[in-house]
Every structure is written in C-alpha cells, then in structure tokens.
Amino acid sequence: MKLYEHEAAQIFGEMGLPVPERVVVYSPEEAKAAAEKIGAPVVIKAQVLVGSRGLAGGVKAAETPEEAFAVASRIIGMSIQGIKVEKVLVTKKVSFQKELYMGITVDGYRGQPVVMVSSEGGMSIEEVARLFPEKIGTRHVPLNRGLMAFEARKLVKDAGFPAGQIGACADILVKLYQIFLRCNALIAEINPLVILQDGTLMAIDAKLEMDDSALKRLGKLVPKDHVRNETPMEKKGREIGVTYVELDGDIGMIASGAGLGMATMDIIGKKLRPANFLETGGGITEELLYKTMDLMMMKKGLRAIFINLYGGINPIHEGAKGIVRYIKEKGVKIPIVAKALGNRQEETWEILRSGGVHVVEEVPTEKAVAKLFEVLS
C-alpha cells in the first residue's frame, strides 16, 4: 500500500524526522486559509500516488494566500497520468542550499533491505544513477544487526555529503531505517532531504509504501482509507476477493492463478487485446465466480470472455455453476470460451455447456485460445 505524501510525512514527523509545517486541503478556499495559517510563501503539492507530478504541473509555489487560492484551483481537479487530483498539501516554502537523497527498499534477490543515499537529490534515483553514479552510496543491511550510526556516517561521507552535515544526516538515515522496519515498508524515501540556509535539515518530500501482507499487524499506523490508485473495477475486484487489473483491450479474461492468467493474456494478445487481468486465487466458490462474471460485464465494449481454470486446490465445478447461473439470469450475449482441467473436469464441462459456453477439452491454452479466435472470426 502506497501512502500519500501527507500520510507518510505524518509518520515521518511522529518518528522524529524534521518535516515542514503542512495542511491537507480539498478546496481552493481551504488552501487560502492554510496559507494564512502557515504563513506565505507556501508550496502547493498535488496528492497523487504517481511519479513525476512536478513535471505534470502538480507542484507550484504561491507567494500570497490569494495566489494559493488560484494555484490550488488549477491543481485540484487536474489529471496526472490519468489520476484526478482530489487533494493538495500546503506546506511552508523553505529556501535551501542543497538537495540530498535517502531511500531504503527491499532487495528481493538478496533478501535484505538496501539503503541508498546520494548527494544529488531532487531528481529520481534512477536519473542520479545514470548521471552521477559516483555520488550514490549503497549498503545492504543484515536484519539481525540493523543499520548502525557509524555505518550510516561512512555511507553518507563516501557519497559526498557536506562535511558539516554528516552526523546529522546519518542520524536521519538511522531513523529512516527504523521507520522502514516499524512500518514493514517496501519503500521509505526522502527525496529531497534539504539543507536549509541556517544549516539545519528538512525532509520536504516523504514516500512510504507498506507491505499489504503486513497491514493487519501494523494497526493504527495504517491510514484508514484503503482506496489507492484503483479504477472502480479494480476496487470492486478487491472487494469481492479477486485480483483485477484493468487494461485497454476488449477480451475479458478469468484465470484461477496469477501465472496462468499472465500466460493467458500473452496468448490472447497474439491476435486480440486483453481487457483485463483477473486472477481468482485458490478460493473459488459458486458465489465468487458469479460475482466475477458481474465484474467482467461492467467493462464497456467487451467482445468475448475467455476462462482458464485448474482444479487443484479449487472446486471448479462449483465455479462453473456460478458462471452459468450468471449467464442465465443476466442473458449474457457475448461468446464465452472456457478451458477447465483437473478434479471433476467432466462435470465442470457439462455445467458450462448447459450455459452455452464453448468448452475446450484440450490441455494447451493455445488450443483453447484458437477456439476463441475462431468463434470471433
């Protein structure tokens, strides 16, 4: 779960990192009031969970409360990478001498947290890696030991951080590592960490992604509103208990596993365009596939549905009942092609055929998709 900047900044602040004074607002009027409260000049920042919001015009300074009103009315409602901006963060504008970078992520291959720092902040770390590889320091952290202050000092010193700031920066890095641990984070990042004119440090952006599988045990640390960057259909998929990723094609796809689903999209994609990725996981019931069909049919302009199931841990005959019940109740007109193999496959085929589904009994998905192409041609 990715956190909005204002949510991450809240946690960073509570855990001892220096963050600017700030207010989240949903309207130009509130932005003006916030600028009056904090004291102009301020910076107004779109709260969206996509990158490059600055380039898209989603981050602007305002010298007066009136200007804050005008800037906020331009940013609220604008679209950044297809996401509508609904709220902005109003923060005190600070002047600084230098921008730095600090981030911690999971190195999946090494199975350890990896800390990265750079004396060039304010741009993406990928960009820094390309332009100034010598200004990046990297260190893997053994979990049984953690990140020690002396290691943090060496890391920032070697990356070229200013001599006078090494102790203070190392202190912030160790705190960021503790936040990463405490929040079961996949990413914890400050970009940029700035050195103000008076030499003190401030985290003027905050990025935090919590592990979805750890949200339960994180309790109060997790922001209440869970809706993150989802289309309405993706949200509905999550609510009924399937993984749905919306794509721009017109062939609906249901699979009983993630790998099978991705491969099925690859095969369909040789001639047609998949409308979605949908994976049921191992919890198929009649009700789940009834609801899944309902979700599929929400997509406008669908030409056909392709279903690919394995009955290992899943009772596919139960799933078939749900599909057919939906077809009969709602009078689905578009063709449906299905491959279903495993425990009780013959029974499953019979049920599907009773609902007019084109059943393919062969093993390779390619053969079943060939049937789909044939039905549509």
Partner 1 sequence: MSILLNQKTRVLVQGITGKIGSVQTHWMLDYGTNIVAGVTPGKGGANVEGVPVFDSVSEAVVATGAEAAVFFVPASFVLDAFFETVDAGIDLIVIVPEHLPVHDVMIMHDYLLRQTGRDIFVLGPTTPGITTAGEAKMGIMPGSLFKPGKIGIISRSGTLAYEMTGILTDSGIGQSTVVGMGADPVALTSLANILKRYEEDPGTDAVVIVGEVGGVQEEQAADYIKRMTKPVAAYIAGRFAPEGKKMGHAGAIIRGTQGTVKSKCETLGAAGVTILDTPIDVLPWAKKTGH
Catalytic site residue 66? no
- The nearest distance, CB 363 to partner 1, in angstroms, is 4
3 vs 222: CA distance, rounded Å: 9
CB closer to partner 1 out of 61 and 258: 258
Rule CB under 8 A: is residue 266 a binding residue for partner 1? yes
Please name which of 149, 55, 170, 49 lies closest in space to residue 102, comparing C-alpha atoms: 170
# residues contacting partner 1 (CB under 8 A): 54
Q: Which of 269, 287, 335, 344 binds partner 1 (CB under 8 A)?
A: 269
145: buried, middle or exposed (CB in 10 Å: 19+, 13-18, 0-12)? exposed
Rule CB under 8 A: is residue 256 a binding residue for partner 1? yes
Tokens of 308: 């690919």
Per-residue CA distances from 277 to 234, 266, 349 (Å) = 10, 11, 23
Residue 312's CB is within 10 A of a number of other CB atoms, namely: 12
236 vs 40: CA distance, rounded Å: 42
Q: Which one from 4, 5, 67, 101 is the annotated catalytic residue?
A: 101
Residue type at 357? V
Tokens of 92: 């005190």
CB of 176 closer than 8 Å to CB of 184: no
Rule CB under 8 A: is residue 123 a binding residue for partner 1? no
Rule CB under 8 A: is residue 225 a binding residue for partner 1? no
Interaction mask 270-299, partner 1, x per CB under 8 A: x---x--x-x-xx-----------------
202 vs 355: CA distance, rounded Å: 63
Rule CB under 8 A: is residue 58 a binding residue for partner 1? no
Rule CB under 8 A: is residue 237 a binding residue for partner 1? no
Please name which of 17, 11, 20 lies closest in space to residue 92, comparing C-alpha atoms: 20
Specify the 3-state DSSP secondary structure of 101: strand
Please name which of 58, 69, 62 lies closest in space to residue 32, comparing C-alpha atoms: 69
CB closer to partner 1 out of 169 and 208: 208
201 vs 193: CA distance, rounded Å: 7
CB closer to partner 1 out of 63 and 361: 361
Name the one residue in this structure whose structure tokens are 């641990």. Answer: 181
Q: Which one from 189, 234, 279, 318 is the annotated catalytic residue?
A: 189
Per-residue CA distances from 50 to 5, 85, 307 (Å) = 11, 11, 32
Rule CB under 8 A: is residue 374 a binding residue for partner 1? no
Rule CB under 8 A: is residue 331 a binding residue for partner 1? no
Taking CB under 8 A as the binding criterion, the range among 3-11, 15-23, 96-104, 304-312 that sits at the site for partner 1 is 304-312
CB closer to partner 1 out of 64 and 343: 343
CB closer to partner 1 out of 78 and 106: 106
- The nearest distance, CB 267 to partner 1, in angstroms, is 6
The torsion angles phi and psi of 275, rounded to 5 degrees, stand at -85, -15
CB closer to partner 1 out of 20 and 311: 311
Rule CB under 8 A: is residue 113 a binding residue for partner 1? yes
CB of 205 closer than 8 Å to CB of 20: no
Q: Which of 82, 95, 144, 377 binds partner 1 (CB under 8 A)?
A: 144
Q: Which of 41, 54, 342, 355 binds partner 1 (CB under 8 A)?
A: 342
242 vs 262: CA distance, rounded Å: 14
Tokens of 30: 């509130």
Taking CB under 8 A as the binding criterion, the range among 21-29, 162-170, 324-332, 340-348 that sits at the site for partner 1 is 340-348
User: Residue 136: in which H helix or E strand, if any?
Assistant: strand 136-140
Catalytic site residue 101? yes
Sites for partner 1 among residues 193-222 (CB under 8 A): 211-214, 216-217
Taking CB under 8 A as the binding criterion, the range among 91-99, 284-292, 319-327, 356-364 that sits at the site for partner 1 is 356-364
- Catalytic center residues: 101, 189
Binding site for partner 1 (CB under 8 A): 106, 108-109, 111-113, 126, 142-144, 181, 184, 186, 211-214, 216-217, 243, 245, 247, 255-263, 265-267, 269-270, 274, 277, 279, 281-282, 310-313, 341-343, 362-367
